[in-house]
Amino acid sequence: MIVMINGAFGAGKTTVATKLLERMDHALLYDPEEVGYMLREMIPNEVKLPVEQTGDFQDFLMWKTLVVEVAKQLKQTYDRDLIVPMTIYKKDYFNTIYEGFSELDEETFHFCLTAEKQTIHNRLLTRGEEPGNWCFAQTDKCLEGYQDSCFEQFIQTDNRDVEQIVDLICEEIGFIPKGDGVYVGIE
């Protein structure tokens, strides 16, 4: 199983993914940002292609391919479910990764955590982000991008706590945790 948890910076992806990981003992947390950080470190500015010189590592041409390939290697090597928190609002990037994940595991789920702009900004401030930084600057792009139905299934987070959101995801992906941390599918 692969569970993608999408949403703007500040929507609660990492918090939800971490709590979901606590319930899914047979899972790994896979953050594609790590792939982006690696590419950013490896590819100097003078080597970057013009399309890659945006300041967003998702624009590296190989980022999407590597995100899927790392997921493939994690699943093949460790035989674990993957919980994948990432902010991805560009439809073609999303489709490439979602389709790649779906080829790896037919049980691929996507959830897009949504919230009002002010809620997102309040959460960013609470976690110590500086007003106007890169995370803040992405909010409008994300909220606009998430208007596309390809990003469904949406979970509104403004008035839900983390446990409620994780409960919704667990219900949708079809498992309930057993007392010993093992999970079983819901028929």
Q: What is the pLDDT of residues 15-33, one digit of tens each?
A: 999 999 999 989 999 999 9
Please report which helix (H) or strand (E) contains residue 43, including its range. none
**Residues 157-172, mean pLDDT to the nearest whole number:** 95
Whether 183 has a pLDDT exceeding 90, the answer reads no
Whether 187 has a pLDDT exceeding 50, the answer reads no
User: Which residue in this structure is represented by tokens 């319930």?
Assistant: 23
3-state SS, residue 55? coil
CA distance 99 to 26: 23
Kindly report each contact of residues 53-62 with a partner whose C-beta sits within 8 Å and lies 24 or more positions away, as own/partner. 55/134, 57/33, 58/88, 58/90, 58/93, 60/36
Of the pLDDT bands very low, low, confident and very high (cuts 50, 70, 90), residue 134 is: confident
Q: With b meaning 16 or more CB within 10 Å and e meaning fewer, what string describes 89-123?
A: bbeebbebbbebbeebeeebbbbbbbbeeebbbeb
CA distance 115 to 143: 9
> pLDDT > 90: what percent of the chain?
87
Sign of CA dihedral 2, 33, 117, 92: negative
> pLDDT > 70: what percent of the chain?
94
